[in-house]
């Protein structure tokens, strides 16, 4: 009679390296490559929402919010990672960060439900989502995908790769998506994504991995419907000129070396170059009875240079493991917002606006303008051991220092701020067998501001 085995999935996000799911002292779900291919999702939220305890609302055109074990919001409670590296530096959070990802490059997704700050920093206080990209396969593979619907959405994707030699492997992919004349007004968008991953094995112990990801996105954004129009069942936005424009470039180079069977070191250098420009509906200001109003156009841009190093050492004593690492991230950023002039078409009651029309941009009338250089420094360590069969204990601690120097061009001021945080963690897992287990991970956070 055939024997059915419950194979324990392997995850990497729980400890920054591969381990059995049963050994991870946290609630973590893995969305497998098979699930991603079978779902054929138009957007990532369609797959991520398959995770129990996770709600990722669709705001249209790949825009989103997030809720993991709590009401969904746009707050910086969650960390988005790509191959273990934050998509954005700490201090420049964007709840729409998944716009800056190429879904076609993703092999699997790991979702951590609950705090994981002791390994990934303060922004992971509510959870973390790690997108793992495709690696070159032993057998050459070509993938093609075309998708569309009856509401003007279309997407074409192509990718492939494999081992070009015994040492060198490549995977490349491209995705082009667009939306036109959907059932929802102000929902047209265009997105182009490119990604490349190369791996080179110097020998059986040493491997070099390089990745490049580029994304360009432009979208109309929906406006608001005021209460009078809503209750009159006139679901027409007051604006038709708002938009969001995103460009992102990320690259990394990782050197991994296995010193022995139980010892491994990795060093990663990374670079980011991002720009987010928008004409947001929420920035419109209008005074009751006025036939004019103001809006704004703003842009936030940054580029990062950073280095992350990590070492893992296993010991025979109690099947224990020590993991230690450090991260440095230097991210100069700029921000400006300037005013726009709007015409307000009033309803007969003169107390509400039926429509706004943008008359002109005023690029010399700044509402905000500054430069800031963010310095993020972190060090972490985690020790796991098994004092008895089926029971595994984990203790970890992380220190974060975030400092930034900024210059405000409006009031001609400069200043430096410094924040420090210490995050310890203690957790345990007990494997009951037959796919059952128990996990407890209390966490305490200590903060100090200078």
- Position 86 scores a pLDDT of 92
Instruction: Write down the pLDDT at residue 41.
Output: 81
3-state secondary structure labels for all residues of 159-225: EEEEECCCCEEEEEEEEEEEECCCCCCCCCEEEEEEEEEEEEECCCCEEEEEEEEEEEEEEECCCCC
In this predicted structure, what is the pLDDT of residue 436?
Answer: 55
Q: Which of 169, 331, 310, 187 is nearest to 250 (CA)?
A: 331
**Cα–Cα dist 372/367, whole Å:** 17
- Residue 314: inside a domain, yes or no? yes
Is 272 contained in some domain?
Answer: yes
- Is residue 5 in a domain? no
List the chain pLDDT tens, one digit each, 450 residues.
Answer: 444 444 467 877 766 777 776 666 677 888 888 888 888 788 888 888 888 888 888 888 888 888 888 888 888 888 999 999 999 999 898 888 888 988 888 888 989 888 888 888 888 888 889 999 998 988 899 999 899 988 999 999 999 999 999 999 999 999 999 999 988 888 999 999 999 999 999 999 999 999 999 999 999 998 888 778 888 888 888 899 999 999 999 999 999 999 988 899 999 999 999 999 999 998 999 998 999 999 999 999 999 999 999 999 999 888 889 999 999 999 999 999 999 999 999 998 888 899 999 999 999 999 999 999 999 999 999 998 888 888 888 888 999 999 999 999 999 999 999 999 998 888 888 877 665 555 555 544 444 433
Q: What is the pTM of this model?
A: 0.88
Say whether 421 sits in a helix, a strand or coil.
Answer: strand
Q: What is the pLDDT at residue 201?
A: 95
Tell me the CATH number at 254.
2.40.170.20
State residue 123's pLDDT score: 85
pLDDT score at 392:
85
**Residue 208 pLDDT:** 97
- Picking from 25, 23, 252, 254, the residue whose alpha carbon sits closest to that of residue 118 is 25
Tell me the C-alpha distance between 206 and 423, whole Å. 32
User: Is 3 within a domain?
Assistant: no
Residue 398 near residue 121 (C-beta atoms within 8 A): yes
Can you tell me the distance from the alpha carbon of 143 to that of 103, in angstroms, rounded to the nearest whole number? 13
Domain contains 1: no
Q: CA quadruple 281, 285, 287, 289: dihedral positive or negative?
A: negative
- CB distance 391 to 22 below 8 Å: no
Nearest alpha carbon to residue 245 among 280, 271, 197, 272: 280
DSSP states along 238-272: S-S--EEEEEEEEEEEEEEEEEETTEEEEEEEEEE
Look up the domain containing 85 and give its range.
Answer: 10-449
> What pLDDT does residue 30 have?
87
Are 423 and 118 contacting, i.e. CB atoms less than 8 angstroms apart?
yes
Domains held by the chain: number: 1
Residues in a beta bridge with 229: none
CA 163 to chain CA mean position, Å: 29
């Amino acid at each position: 009679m055939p024997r059915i085995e419950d194979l324990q999935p392997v995850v990497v996000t729980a400890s920054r390296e591969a381990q059995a799911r049963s050994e991870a002292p946290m609630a973590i779900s893995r969305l497998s490559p098979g699930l991603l291919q079978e779902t054929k999702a138009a957007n990532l939220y369609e797959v991520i929402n398959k995770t129990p305890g996770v709600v990722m609302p669709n705001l249209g055109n790949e825009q989103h919010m997030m809720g993991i074990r709590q009401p969904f919001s746009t707050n910086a409670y969650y960390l988005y990672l790509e191959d273990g590296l934050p998509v954005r530096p700490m201090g420049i959070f964007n709840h729409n960060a998944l716009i800056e990802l190429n879904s076609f490059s993703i092999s699997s997704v790991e979702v951590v439900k609950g705090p994981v700050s002791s390994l990934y920093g303060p922004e992971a206080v509510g959870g973390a989502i790690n997108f793992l990209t495709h690696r070159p396969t032993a057998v050459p593979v070509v993938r093609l995908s075309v998708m569309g619907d009856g509401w003007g959405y279309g997407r074409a994707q192509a990718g492939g790769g494999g081992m070009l030699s015994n040492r060198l492997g490549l995977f490349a992919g491209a995705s082009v998506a667009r939306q036109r004349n959907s059932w929802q007004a102000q929902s047209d968008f265009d997105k182009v994504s490119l990604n490349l991953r190369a791996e080179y094995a110097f020998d059986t112990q040493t491997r070099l991995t390089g990745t490049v990801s580029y994304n360009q996105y432009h979208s109309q954004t929906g406006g608001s419907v005021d209460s009078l129009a809503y209750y009159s069942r006139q679901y027409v936005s007051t604006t038709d000129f708002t938009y969001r424009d995103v460009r992102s470039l990320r690259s990394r180079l990782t050197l991994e070396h296995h010193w022995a069977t139980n010892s491994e070191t990795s060093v990663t250098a990374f670079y980011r170059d991002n720009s987010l420009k928008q004409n947001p509906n929420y920035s419109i200001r209008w005074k009751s009875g006025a036939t004019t109003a103001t809006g704004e156009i703003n842009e936030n841009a940054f580029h990062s240079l950073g280095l992350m190093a990590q070492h893992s050492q296993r010991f025979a004593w109690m099947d224990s493991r020590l993991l230690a690492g450090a991260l440095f991230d230097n991210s100069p950023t700029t921000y400006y917002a300037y005013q726009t002039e709007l015409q307000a078409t009033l309803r007969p009651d003169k107390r509400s606006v039926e429509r706004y029309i943008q008359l002109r941009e005023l690029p010399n009338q700044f509402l905000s303008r500054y430069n800031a250089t963010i310095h993020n420094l972190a060090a972490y360590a985690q020790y796991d051991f098994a004092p008895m069969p089926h029971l595994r204990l984990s203790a970890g601690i992380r220190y974060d220092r975030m400092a930034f120097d900024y210059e405000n061009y409006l009031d001609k001021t400069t200043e430096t701020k410094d924040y420090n945080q210490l995050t310890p963690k203690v957790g345990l897992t007990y494997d009951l067998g037959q796919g059952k287990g128990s996990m407890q991970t209390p966490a305490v956070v200590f903060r100090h501001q200078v």
